[in-house]
Structure 1
């Protein structure tokens, strides 16, 4: 059966849900076209079905397709940002990367190579995980494309700056220690948001502070409010190229039970979405949403939350791409 898609602004958009029911047809992200159905994508959504770096509950390898299924209800106009991302830029689903589940080092190399290939023509990536191990090679690729260390916002219940697990350097609890060591991040502009829960010791916080991270706990969000938190984050980020990584366990388990390492006392989905929307106008160059584990997701709550987080990040990336195109097309000032 022929797909009937919305076309607006010269871009091929989602399947028209007034003609094809939302529950029918292939489950690409937001029912968008596949990458092979368009000549170029300004923003590509790509999955990484990999969870060999987890330290507790597995299952995030199935997260990308779970988020896609949960995204069927997303619509072309984003009223919270007063923006139509699929009309402003060409957004497409690039499918899944193929990575080795039995060799973490080989998987990291494949992810970096795939990310560099997908961004070769100026495309920005929104990645659906997968466990948080995948963020390291994505940061490597994003830093190479940006040509300078990145500002970084890390939404997570956990610091993910531990050194090793069972002697392994590359796990879902170590990526941002490695990222600092490798010089991928601008340590004047990096922050955790939503952290909480017990640690192995006070040294965890001391190490984190030494790496340059600012910490906004879930309690800070509760007591200070979203507007104050956003203002502080924007001041720290400035106009640097920004990468955003969202571990869905930043949300309280009441909002996102389907994840591998849940912690009580998290932020709400509303707070997370409002903080992300507050990043509008920043120099966002890439983002990921990870650690969605559908086996534990009651009533698809986690998938729905993750799909909306991804949608708002795609909106930010699409607006930046559109602004870049407008700037490139503008006549040179004399």
Structure 2
């Protein structure tokens, strides 16, 4: 391992009891929480998921004949400087770049969604260019400022991805709440495609897969899949910082993820799972869905 990984990464437990990283798909905890504007707590997610994962059955939703835990290894949690967002973006960028260079891809568990900017920069650095950003989220995260006067936050970072890594395509899947500024920004982009929650709910599985297949096939570069778990309905995932009603069911989210990973293949260099907030999760009812989501991503990746 390189010096940055050795210096900045550690944890007490490993996820599902999998080995520390030597070979396999690396899983990295990113407990960042610098700009949360509503219900804090996302920084606790990687540790809580790790400690409770020991008690769940390790079974993905679909039986593909794969022992998913044999595919993975645990890097531990990234040590960050709480509240210093720009420094943390550079630390995420540096470490994730090294991880991708060594293992080829990475699954990162947040932490607030701002971390995806650091991951995007790492993908661009490691691959020499940035291809497709896939944003699965209840929100567009494309404001110019939020709160007023703050240019980089969990609600603005997509603009920074656009400006700093120049994606070939931005694919927004599952948004259901936005303001006029955000929706105008997204629709004015020459290289974006938007499927709202209601669109996904109305589409047949083959229609959704065809749209995602055609979108990913239009550009040749690396793919970065970023999943904010608030895309799920709060009845399934109450433990988030910014819950919004009428979200995707778990099965609907799984259709989206499988299509992206099936058609993205080895071009998928990074998957982010963000915004789980244990302090806002009554009875930790969201944890089984979080554990299942990690297993399902491993199953399809």
Normalised to the residue count of structure 1, the TM-score between the two structures is: 0.79
Specify the SS of the correspondent of 2:238: coil
Task: In structure 2, list runs of 5 or more residues that go unmatched.
Answer: 1-11
For residues 200-279 of structure 1, the aligned pairs below 5 Å read 200-201=179-180, 203-211=181-189, 212-238=191-217, 240-278=221-259, 279=261
Match of residue 17 from structure 1: none
Q: Describe the shift of the 1:74–1:146 C-alpha distance in structure 2 as closer, same or farther (beyond 3 A).
A: farther
Is residue 192 of structure 1 aligned with residue 172 of structure 2?
Answer: yes
Task: In structure 1, list runs of 5 or more residues that go unmatched.
Answer: 1-25, 318-334
Tell whether the 8 Å contact from 1:284 to 1:316 is kept in structure 2 after alignment. no
Q: How many corresponding residue pairs?
A: 282
Q: Describe the shift of the 1:176–1:259 C-alpha distance in structure 2 as closer, same or farther (beyond 3 A).
A: same
Specify the SS of the correspondent of 1:280: helix
Tell whether the 8 Å contact from 1:67 to 1:304 is kept in structure 2 after alignment. no
Distance in 1, Cα, partners of 2:130 & 2:63: 31
For residues 96-245 of structure 1, the aligned pairs below 5 Å read 96-165=77-146, 166-187=148-169, 190-197=170-177, 199-201=178-180, 203-211=181-189, 212-238=191-217, 240-245=221-226
User: Which string of whole-angstrom CA distances, capped at 9 and with x for unpartnered residues, describes residues 295-328 of structure 1?
Assistant: 12123332221222222222333xxxxxxxxxxx
Q: Name which of 33, 36, 56 aligns with 2:19.
A: 33
Normalised to the residue count of structure 2, the TM-score between the two structures is: 0.87
Q: Describe the shift of the 1:79–1:229 C-alpha distance in structure 2 as closer, same or farther (beyond 3 A).
A: closer
Tell whether the 8 Å contact from 1:41 to 1:123 is kept in structure 2 after alignment. no
User: Which string of whole-angstrom CA distances, capped at 9 and with x for unpartnered residues, describes residues 81-116 of structure 1?
Assistant: 4423344x4x21111001111211111111111112
Distance in 2, Cα, partners of 1:308 & 1:256: 12
For the pair shown, the structure with the greater C-alpha radius of gyration is 1
Tell whether the 8 Å contact from 1:44 to 1:125 is kept in structure 2 after alignment. yes
| More divergent stretch after superposition (251-260 vs 115-124) | 115-124
Match of residue 66 from structure 2: 83
Specify the SS of the correspondent of 1:136: helix
